């Protein structure tokens, strides 16, 4: 089982869970993690270099999907467009680039931990795309979704356990990420309160609307 790993703070609770959980030894030992950005993991899944992972939500519908993703309702602080800047896509993303287009927001797109760091320093300089989406649709947004090409049953069991657990991040891991990202531990914990992972009816409705509007802009979803 080769699982793509987005090494962003927004999936830190899931990575902590995989490392610490009491999964059956055979299952745990069979999982190999392969790091990548959301857009890179899209390519890796298509080329079968991985068999599963959280990939850009706009690409996930091409594969078997589970009701697990990176979701936010209202402010997310890590998917941004810089105000007054020249339009530029973030190469690490696909869903966020298209979301900016769907919302009609022009400027430089920033995602992930670098975006969070920039936002914390000067929130007034950025448009928060999840916030704008919620204002227009009254719905959450799903930035990434778990997709796979095989071992769906095994992954489904793992994710079911994760979604029903309250994950506490060990202090040493929090400290390590804080130092490497240059973001305070408290800011990381506050940020994670904005993120959730269960895809329900509202999240699915949001995805349907997003895909439909993306198609109208000639995205082949």
Q: How confident is the model at residue 32 (pLDDT cuts 50, 70, 90)?
A: confident
What digits encode the pLDDT tens for the residues 65-96? Answer: 999 999 999 999 999 999 999 999 999 989 99
pTM for the full model? Answer: 0.92
Average pLDDT over residues 94-123: 96
Which residues touch 4 (CB under 8 Å, ≥6 apart)?
33, 34, 35, 36, 41, 44, 45, 50, 52, 53, 54, 55
| Under 8 Å between Cβ of 129 and 100 | yes
Greater confidence (24 vs 124) lies with 124
What digits encode the pLDDT tens for the residues 165-208? Answer: 999 999 999 999 999 999 999 999 999 999 999 999 999 999 99
Q: What beta strand segments (E) does the chain contain?
A: 2-5, 32-35, 52-56, 64-72, 79-82, 108-111, 126-128, 141-148, 196-198
pLDDT of residue 55: 93
DSSP 86: P
Domains delineated in the chain: 2-216 (3.40.190.10)
* pLDDT for 22 beyond 60: yes
* pLDDT for 138 beyond 80: yes
pLDDT of residue 221: 47
Nearest of 62, 156, 157, 72 to residue 111 by alpha carbon: 72
Q: How confident is the model at residue 46 (pLDDT cuts 50, 70, 90)?
A: very high
DSSP 88: B
* pLDDT for 21 beyond 70: no
Residue whose token pair is 């190469």: 91
Average pLDDT over residues 20-40: 75
Q: Can you tell me the distance from the alpha carbon of 186 to that of 72, in angstroms, rounded to the nearest whole number?
A: 19
* Angle ∠(80,3,63) on CA atoms, nearest 5: 75
- Please compute, for residue 193, the number of CA atoms within 13 A of its CA located in the half-sphere on the CB side: 6
């Amino acid at each position: 089982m080769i699982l793509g790993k987005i090494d962003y703070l927004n999936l830190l609770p899931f990575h902590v869970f995989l490392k610490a959980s009491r999964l059956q030894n055979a299952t745990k030992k069979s999982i190999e993690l392969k790091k990548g950005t959301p857009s890179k993991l899209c390519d890796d899944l298509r080329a079968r270099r991985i068999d599963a992972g959280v990939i850009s939500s706009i690409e996930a519908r091409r594969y078997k999907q589970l009701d697990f993703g990176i979701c936010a309702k209202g402010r997310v602080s890590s998917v941004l467009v810089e105000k007054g800047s020249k339009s530029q896509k973030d190469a690490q993303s696909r869903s966020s680039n298209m979301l900016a287009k769907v919302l009609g927001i022009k400027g430089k797109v920033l995602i992930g931990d670098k975006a969070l760091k920039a936002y914390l320093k000067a929130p007034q300089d950025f448009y928060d795309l999840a916030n704008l989406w919620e204002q227009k649709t009254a719905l959450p947004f799903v930035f990434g979704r778990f997709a796979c090409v095989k071992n769906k049953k095994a992954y489904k069991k793992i994710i079911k356990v994760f979604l029903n657990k309250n994950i506490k991040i060990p202090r040493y891991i929090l400290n390590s990420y804080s130092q490497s990202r240059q973001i305070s531990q408290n800011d990381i914990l506050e940020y994670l309160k904005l993120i959730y992972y269960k895809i329900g009816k509202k999240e699915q409705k949001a995805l349907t609307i997003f895909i439909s509007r993306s198609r109208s802009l000639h995205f082949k979803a």
